[in-house]
Structure 1
Amino acid sequence: MISPELQYLTGFGNQHATEALPGALPCGQNSPQRCPYGLYAEQFSGTAFTAPRRHNRRSWLYRIRPSVVQGRFRLLPPTPWLSAPLTGDPVDPNPMRWHPLPIPETPCDFIDGLFTFAANGRPDAQTGCAVHLYALNADMQSRYLYDADAELLIVPQSGELLLRTELGQLHVPPGHCAVLPRGIKFQVRRAQAAGGAHGYVCENFGAAFELPELGPIGANGLANPRDFETPVACYDDISGNFELVARVDGRLWSAPLNHSPLDVVAWHGNHVPYRYDLSRFNTINTVSFDHPDPSIFTVLTAPSDTPGTANVDFVIFPPRWVVAEHSFRPPWFHRNVMSEFMGLVQGRYDAKTSGFIPGGSSLHNCMSAHGPDADAFESACQMPLAPQHLDDSLAFMFESRYPFRCSEQARNAPFRQMNYSDVWQGLRSQFDPGRP
Structure 2
Amino acid sequence: MRLNAHIESPQAAALTGQVSVDLTAISDNIRNLRERSAAPHFMAVVKGNAYGHGLVDVARTALEAGADWLGTAQLHEAIALRRAGITAPVLSWLYLAAASSGTIREALEYDVDVSLGSVAQLDVVAGVARRLGRPAVVHLELDTGLSRGGARAEDWAELVAAARCAERAGTLSVRGVWTHLAWADVPAHPANMAAVDAFEEAVREARAAGLEPALRHVSSSANILDRPEFAFDMVRAGLAFYGLAPADHLAPADFGLRPALTVTAPVVLVKKVPAGTGVSYEHQAFTHEPRYLGLIPLGYADGIPKGISGRSLILLGGRRVPVIGKVCMDQFMVDLGPDANGVAVGDTAVLFGDPQTGAASADDWGAAIGSHGDEIINRIAPRLPRAYECPDYQEAGGPVGG
TM-score range, shorter chain: under 0.3
| Larger-gyration structure (1/2) | 2
Q: Could you state the TM-score of these two structures normalised by the residue count of structure 1?
A: 0.24
Q: Could you state the TM-score of these two structures normalised by the residue count of structure 2?
A: 0.26
- Of Structure 1 and Structure 2, the greater helix share is in 2
- Of Structure 1 and Structure 2, the greater strand share is in 1
